[in-house]
Amino acid sequence: MGTILTSYGDAGYQHEGYPAQILDDGSVTSAHGDDTGARMVGQVIAACSCGWTGTTRYPTTAPIDVDAEELALQEWEHEHARPVLQRDQLAKWDRLRTVLGRLGRWQHDRLLDRSGPDRSAAERQELLDRILRVLTSATELAQELRDTRDGDDDRRR
């Protein structure tokens, strides 16, 4: 089981960090077992469930070295997880601004449209459907952003 940053809502689960053991062939593993134990070279590296791996190899003094593993998790958190998740969160805020801006422009255009009452029922329905789609999209984004919070005390193993 790895570590996730819970303050980023569901997106945090897409980047589960863990200290990976380096094996004698250069591959990495999170499994400690009979088939991997003898092949461990005494180093861990930061790794993420998305496939990212860190660059620093942390020497271990035992098969499970809490200090080396914590250093690897700190690298994962500060060099990978937080930057990626923060960019994702900023992109969602930008999308929400875009969606709400589009809705505002449509509403503005509708108010300025003098032929509004002369529109057919199908045209009015299409306009309402477009507004509903935009509001639904904005609501989903707002809920995602509401479920996230800033904080440094958000690691969960």
Which of 82, 49, 44 minimizes the C-alpha distance to 63? 44
Q: What is the per-residue pLDDT across 90-138, written as a single tens digit (0 to 9) for each? A: 888 888 888 888 777 776 666 556 555 677 778 777 777 877 887 888 8
Judged against a pLDDT cut of 60, whether residue 62 lies above it is answered with yes
Listed residue (4, 12, 5, 38) closest to 23, CA to CA: 38
- The residue ranking higher by pLDDT, 5 or 143, is 5
Please answer whether residues 17 and 81 qualify as being in contact, where contact means their C-beta atoms are separated by less than 8 angstroms. yes
Q: How confident is the model at residue 1 (pLDDT cuts 50, 70, 90)?
A: low
Task: Please state the domain extents for the chain.
Answer: 4-84, 86-156
Report the pLDDT value the prediction gives residue 121, as an integer from 0 to 100: 74
Residue 5 gets the label, from left (phi > 0), alpha (psi -120 to 50) or beta, of beta
User: Residues 69-78: what's their mean pLDDT?
Assistant: 96
- In this model, does residue 75 exceed pLDDT 70? yes
List all residues 6 or more positions away from 52 whose beta carbon is below 8 Å from its beta carbon: 15, 76, 80
The average pLDDT across 81-88 equals 94
Q: What is the mean pLDDT of the chain?
A: 84
* Section 37-45 average pLDDT: 90
Q: What is the mean pLDDT of residues 52-74?
A: 93
